[in-house]
Chain A
Amino acid sequence: MKEAWALFRRDVVLAWREGGTIGTALGFYLVVVAITPLGLGPDLNLLSRIAPGVLWVALLLASLLSADRIFHNDYEDGALDVLVTGRLPLELVAALKSLAHWVTTGIPLALLAPLLGLLLNLPTDAFPLLVVAMLTGTPALSFVAAVGASLTLGLRRSGVLLALLVLPLYVPVLIFGVATVSAASVGPASPWPPFLILCALSLASLVLAPIAAAAALRTASR
């Protein structure tokens, strides 16, 4: 337990201190969403109709920006060797690092989303569900990103490859995330069915992704 807390706390502190991680993701999210209306014109009805989709797509891309940091820095400076010889199973190490990524990226992005919803004329009734859906869906993003990050360890310019690997896996989260928010903002369907599937996606990746990431980490040191 002490080991797990130490690792989680270290990763959160590093994300905060090394800068860039949280700030870049938030800044990217803000800029992408802010320039969308400039490209589409001032049609408020159109904007509010596409707002859930734009918010989710921008969130996926923003959370990908820092995804390669989940393991890359530890691999570069040799800290990964220490993590492997520690007492925690590698699966748990991968899970804790993914969790730290979610706390430092997923949560800030989800909390920023309502503010950006204003820019896109998203109905304010949908704001609570927007935040809840994003808080529910973003763990899946961080945990799946960890698999991609561990697979691309040691490659140069791994960021682009990581995006190619991981973005297709984000599609289910995107579809059900958008469906949840759209149901709340436009109606008439109930937001519950897509929301529950979103929960299932996150729970499944919470369990399965660390196993895949740990397997990839074991081969990375070869």
Chain B
Amino acid sequence: MPLTTSLAAHEISCQRGGRLLFAGLNFTLAPGESLLVTGPNGVGKTSLLRMIAGLLPLHAGRIESGERSVPLPELCHYVGHLNGIKSALTLRENVDFWVDFLGGDGADLEGAYQTFGLAELKQLPAGLLSAGQKRKLALLRLFAAQRPIWLLDEPSVSLDTPSVKVLDKAIAHHLAQGGISVAASHTPLKVRFTRELSLKRDPLQ
């Protein structure tokens, strides 16, 4: 698994429920660059992230990474609105599943447990965690396997201030290592994003 790659979108457009959300979108991200997607609700921020992760088909255009040998979804970590954690499994079982399933080595995990303050809770069923703790658990997926592209959809929702700082640091570290990060967020993250993409609602629609 390559640790750095580039990401480029060419003339992509998105249609949801017969409505064109955006069209002719272009961006290129070199290793270490980051993109902040902004815009009002329902303008297609989540759809854009899901398209990059291969969870949503493109209506037109193409998205490609610099790494041709690995399919794009396998280069991406997607942390969306839903946390994707299993309430009946313990925190540790959730994370161990991601390590095995996503093909990681879990080398950065111990540190991540510590910095997110989840180290003491490893044996607790994930269903008992608070909303913020569940969010942090979902973010641990970023450390379960090393992947160059992080797609973060409102990553700081329900996080407390110290945890947002931890997240900021983690993203900055990821970028410093040559990773790419694409985030959609209303609350400003401290990370300085190298690019900003402002999606606007088409006045004609």
Among A2, A7, A87, chain B packs the most CB atoms within 10 A around the CB of: A87
> A6, B101: Cβ atoms under 8 Å?
yes
Q: How far in angstroms is the closest Cβ of chain B from A112? A: 24
Alpha-carbon distance A161/B114, docked complex (angstroms) = 46
> A78, B100: Cβ atoms under 8 Å?
no
Alpha-carbon distance A10/B95, docked complex (angstroms) = 11
Q: Is A23 interfacial (CB 8 A cutoff)? A: no
> A85, B55: Cβ atoms under 8 Å?
yes
Q: How far in angstroms is the closest Cβ of chain A from B27? A: 20
Alpha-carbon distance A177/B83, docked complex (angstroms) = 42
> A77, B83: Cβ atoms under 8 Å?
yes
Q: How far in angstroms is the closest Cβ of chain A from B82? A: 3
> A2, B86: Cβ atoms under 8 Å?
no
> B103, A87: Cβ atoms under 8 Å?
yes
Alpha-carbon distance A79/B141, docked complex (angstroms) = 11
> A85, B54: Cβ atoms under 8 Å?
yes
The total of interchain contacts (Cβ-Cβ below 8 angstroms) comes to: 83
Q: Is A157 interfacial (CB 8 A cutoff)? A: no
Q: How far in angstroms is the closest Cβ of chain B from A145? A: 21
Measured between beta carbons, the chain B residues less than 8 angstroms from A3 are 100-103
Quick one: given A17-B89, A85-B76, A221-B55, are A78 and B84 in contact (CB under 8 Å)? Answer: yes
> B80, A18: Cβ atoms under 8 Å?
no
Q: How far in angstroms is the closest Cβ of chain B from A8? A: 11
Alpha-carbon distance A5/B54, docked complex (angstroms) = 24
Contact of A79 among B50, B57, B73, B84 (CB under 8 A): B84
Q: How far in angstroms is the closest Cβ of chain B from A22? A: 14
Measured between beta carbons, the chain A residues less than 8 angstroms from B100 are 2-3, 5-6
Interface of chain B: mostly helix, strand, loop or mixed? loop
Interface of chain A: mostly helix, strand, loop or mixed? helix
Quick one: given A77-B84, A77-B85, A79-B85, are A86 and B101 in contact (CB under 8 Å)? Answer: yes
Q: How far in angstroms is the closest Cβ of chain B from A171? A: 34
Measured between beta carbons, the chain A residues less than 8 angstroms from B141 are 82
Alpha-carbon distance A83/B78, docked complex (angstroms) = 11
Q: Is B197 interfacial (CB 8 A cutoff)? A: no
Quick one: given A14-B86, A78-B83, are A86 and B102 in contact (CB under 8 Å)? Answer: yes
Quick one: given A10-B89, A14-B88, A77-B82, are A84 and B101 in contact (CB under 8 Å)? Answer: no
Q: Is B22 interfacial (CB 8 A cutoff)? A: no
Q: Is A13 interfacial (CB 8 A cutoff)? A: yes
Alpha-carbon distance A106/B81, docked complex (angstroms) = 35
Q: How far in angstroms is the closest Cβ of chain B from A129? A: 37
Alpha-carbon distance A13/B100, docked complex (angstroms) = 15
Interface positions of B from 52 to 105, Cβ below 8 Å from A: 53-57, 73-74, 76-78, 80-89, 93, 96-98, 100-103
> B56, A14: Cβ atoms under 8 Å?
no
Chain A contacts to B: CB under 8 angstroms: 2-3, 5-7, 10, 13-14, 17-18, 76-88, 221-222
